Amino acid sequence: MTTLYDFSARLIDGTEQPLSAYRDKVVLVVNVASKCGFTPQYAGLEKLWIDYRDQGLVVLGFPCNQFGDQEPGTETEIAAFCDLNYNVSFPMFAKIEVNGDGAPPLYQWLKREAPGVLGLQAVKWNFTKFLVDPSGEGVTRFGSDVEPASLAGEIEALLAKASASNLG
């Protein structure tokens, strides 16, 4: 069975990152953009990361320019924007496509594991969120309009489940 840990992705600095580095963590994967109405969600994503990283949460940001040309910058420009405006410290990855033939295997898998409304696989907009359980298998999708803070309860439940299984 395929899990999150079977994939790798290029970090924003160009280095390849095996996602197996996040084994046994709760992982929140988000396609992000700097010029979107949802861009202020960077602050909420950073807060989740700060609040829960020591308990086992990882937030992974994937810049995407497929929706309204809202992420036109280079990786260097994106990293500078995130640092300057939102003090983003969670892992950021290289710009990708999330839909179509150019979507990396990670996003093809996420969309298959957690289809959207009416079973459609396509990501509808920036700041779509995929929450992956610590086994790397269970995936839940949340739309762009779902504020990061509203995910705290689900994140806490997955972290508690992971903690309980580590004790057993």
- Residues 89-145 have pLDDT tens digits of 999 999 999 999 999 999 999 999 998 877 778 999 999 999 999 999 989 999 999
How confident is the model at residue 165, as a pLDDT? 67
Model pLDDT for residues 44-54, shown as the tens digit of each residue:
999 999 999 99
Look up the CATH number of the domain holding residue 148. Answer: 3.40.30.10
pLDDT band at 65 (very low <50, low <70, confident <90, very high): very high
Asked if pLDDT for residue 162 goes beyond 80, the answer is no
State the total domains in the chain. 1
Q: CA dist 139 to 79, 136, 153, 167, Å?
A: 27, 8, 15, 23
Domain that holds residue 70: 4-167
Asked if pLDDT for residue 167 goes beyond 70, the answer is no
Out of 30, 36, 96, 139, pick the active-site residue: 36
Q: CA dist 14 to 34, 56, 74, 166, Å?
A: 19, 25, 12, 33
Model pLDDT for residues 80-105, shown as the tens digit of each residue:
999 999 999 999 999 999 999 999 99
% of the chain with per-residue pLDDT over 70: 97
Asked if pLDDT for residue 153 goes beyond 70, the answer is yes
Q: Are 56 and 159 in contact (CB under 8 A)?
A: yes
How confident is the model at residue 117, as a pLDDT? 76
Tell me if residue 82 is catalytic. Answer: no
In whole angstroms, how large is the CA radius of gyration of the chain? 15
Asked if pLDDT for residue 168 goes beyond 60, the answer is no
